[in-house]
Structure 1
Amino acid sequence: MAGRVGRRETLGGAGVLVALLIWVDRAGRWPLLLGAVALSAAGAAGWWLWRAGRRRRRADRQGREEDHLAAGQRSLPEMDAMSRQDFARCVAWLCRRDGCTRVQVSGRPGDLVADVTGRLPDGRLLVVQCAHDAPGGSVPRDDMQKLVGTARLHHRADVALFVTTCRFGKPAQDLAAAHGIVAVNRDLLELWNDGTPLEMLIALGGAGQGDRRHRARWKRAYGA
């Protein structure tokens, strides 16, 4: 019975279509019909593209969230075992955790020591250089000099961080203090990783207080 009803509905639909085509042919309405068909096809294609784009954006967002979770908090021994690029991703995650926005990881040749860039919660531009070295090593003065020379002249950073898994040699430390570079050695990295906010690390050094609008927004948000 159901099969007969289905066949009758199919035949009925086909009959209506044939009658419509005969009417269009006798009335000379072919251009109108073709235009309607083309318009419907364009609308359907546009709807399909919108849905596909929406699915792609959702997948991208989920992928980024999974990446953030995968690059989340790690112990110092786990950081020691990372590649240089993975360590930069871990530092970027710490920046996001503390409210930074527009955080991007570069770490490619030609990045001019900007392994991580982003915006602090008050809008200041942050540039981070990451040194993934053995725990017993030390960052030399020349490496710090590269960050001093490019952080503000090229990147125009308000705050520059040098984050390392080891320590800083005294010449590098003195250079950082003289030029307002926030030198995050292994001990400070452990504190940051354990929950100390980035703003507390920046208070140890760095420069750039943001413009008047950013400072006003910061005071409203934090009462500082």
Structure 2
Amino acid sequence: MFYVLVAIWGVGVPLAILLQLVKHEPALGIPLLLAAFAASGAYVVRRARKAEQRRLDAARLAQIRDVQSREVARYHTMSPNEFEHAIAYLCRRDGCTDVRVVGGAGDLGADVIATAPTGHRIVIQCKRYGLTNKVGSPDAQRFGGTCYSVHGAHIAVMVTTSTFTRQAIGYANAQRIRLYDEHALAGWASQTGPAPWHQASVPAA
């Protein structure tokens, strides 16, 4: 009966009608009026709670974006070599062992090699590019040709301060290479997003 009364109120029973009903049929009108006010009060409370949650979610998202923006800006000031060491630091910070920076002449595509907390061998190529210089398919293909066969990667990752071309993304997906653009990097660095070895499920080492 209560839900029927709530439904009646929800479709807009005029208050005047309810008051008349209370006056002439109090046995029916008073419970109906109380139920209507209870239902409308609960509705108002729910709306207020939802509005407050949306406000909190928006504030948290803005805070995360601000932190991530500052992280990306910091990486853009680094040299390529400094960037490689910064990525190695993130690996160590998040529990990797045997972390080595191997970038340089003859690195065959690997800049950082480590053992992830999951026990997997992670091989990372670092591209400290400007925002207008995207990582293209040739870069991804060169890395794909060595990350597994030469470096024995369980998890192969390309990390950049820029973004990737559509062709690079297509190749990387086909070769199971995980791509970290500026946004994913900022999330990893600020611990508001996953590290590369948590990005997706991986086969057992």
TM-score for both structures, normalised by structure 1: 0.57
Q: Residues of 1 paired with 2:141 and 2:99: CA distance?
A: 24
Higher relative contact order (CA 8 A, sep 6+): 2
State, as a whole percentage, how many aligned pairs show the same letter: 34
Change in CA separation of 1:167 and 1:140 when aligned onto 2, cut-off 3 Å: same
Partner Cα distance (2:112, 2:198) in 1: 19
Does the residue aligned with 2:142 lie in a helix, a strand or coil? Answer: helix
Please tell me whether the aligned partners of residues 76 and 161 of structure 2 are also in contact (alpha carbons under 8 angstroms).
Answer: yes
Check conservation: 1:141, 1:171, Cα contact below 8 A.
Answer: yes
1:10-29 Cα shifts (integer Å, max 9, x gaps): xxxxxxxxxxxxxxxxxxxx
- For the Cα contact (< 8 Å) 1:180–1:207, is it kept in 2? no
CA RMSD of aligned residues (A): 1.7
Partner Cα separation in structure 1 for residue 71 and residue 190 of structure 2? 9
Alignment-mate amino acid for residue 78 of structure 1: R
- Within the alignment, does 1:189 sit opposite 2:172 as a pair? no
The count of residues paired between Structure 1 and Structure 2 equals: 136
Supply the distance in 2 between the matched residues of 1:152 and 1:160 (Cα, whole angstroms): 8
| 1:79-98 superposed matches below 5 A | 79-98=75-94
Question: 1:207, 1:150 → 2: CA distance?
Answer: 19
Structure 2: tracts of 5 or more residues without a match: 1-69
Equivalent position to 1:130, from 126, 138, 143: 126
SS in 2 for 1:166: coil
Partner of 1:155: 151
Is the CA contact 1:100–1:121 (under 8 Å) kept in the aligned structure 2?
A: yes
Q: Aligned to 1:162, what secondary structure does the other structure show?
A: strand
Does the residue aligned with 1:93 lie in a helix, a strand or coil? helix
1:173 corresponds to 2:169: yes
* Alignment partners' CA distance in 1, 2:119 and 2:198: 16
Gaps (5+ residues) in structure 1? Answer: 1-73, 211-224
Relative to the length of structure 2, the TM-score reads 0.62
| Cα shift readout 1:15-72 (whole Å, capped 9, x = no counterpart) | xxxxxxxxxxxxxxxxxxxxxxxxxxxxxxxxxxxxxxxxxxxxxxxxxxxxxxxxxx
Q: 1:32 maps to which residue?
A: none
Residue equivalent to 1:146: 142
